[in-house]
Amino acid sequence: MKKEEIPQDDGALNKLTKEVVYAVDDSGNYTTELSTGWEVKAEALDLAWNEIDQRIANAKQKVINGEASPLLYFMELRLMDPGIVSAYTGFWKWTVKRHMKPSVFKKLPETTLKKYAEAFNVTVEELKTMNVHEA
């Protein structure tokens, strides 16, 4: 795309940052320029974040319904999967999946809960109640 065709649409991040894009200058050489955003990209990001918000809400409802432990909620909230949680906590992946069962989660010792709380950057109480107070 030509230098003057670089999109400068409002986006979710345009007040925080600019994106570096490649463009062709008047001499036909590639150069880098800054873009405040592109409407199509902003819409795609909005759709993705809406999907994530829905997954978080579904996970929370599963915990409330007794179908899953709070680990599922925090995994969705922090955009993690059992493999990532395993890497942060040192637990085997199958152990993390087992701890996602409410009956197993209720019996976990405080030391185990502390490891999960640390991985999710919450307190043990917030882990148990799903009441997260973030700034």
Residue type, 96: V
pLDDT at 126: 96
Distance from CA of residue 123 to its chain's centroid? 19
- Of 30-39, 45-54, 63-72, 123-132, give the lowest mean pLDDT range: 30-39
pLDDT at 13: 63
Residue extents of the structural domains in the chain: 3-37, 41-129
Using CA atoms, how far residue 95 sits from 37, 65, 104, 129, in Å, is 42, 22, 10, 21
CA-angle at 77, arms to 76 and 78, nearest 5°: 90
pLDDT at 12: 62
CATH number of 41-129: 1.10.260
pLDDT at 92: 98
DSSP-derived 3-state class of residue 30: strand
Q: What is the pLDDT of residues 25-61, one digit of tens each?
A: 888 888 888 877 777 777 888 899 899 999 999 999 9
Supply the angle between the helices 82-89 and 110-120 in degrees, to the nearest 10.
110
Q: Are 55 and 38 contacting, i.e. CB atoms less than 8 angstroms apart?
A: no
pLDDT at 8: 72
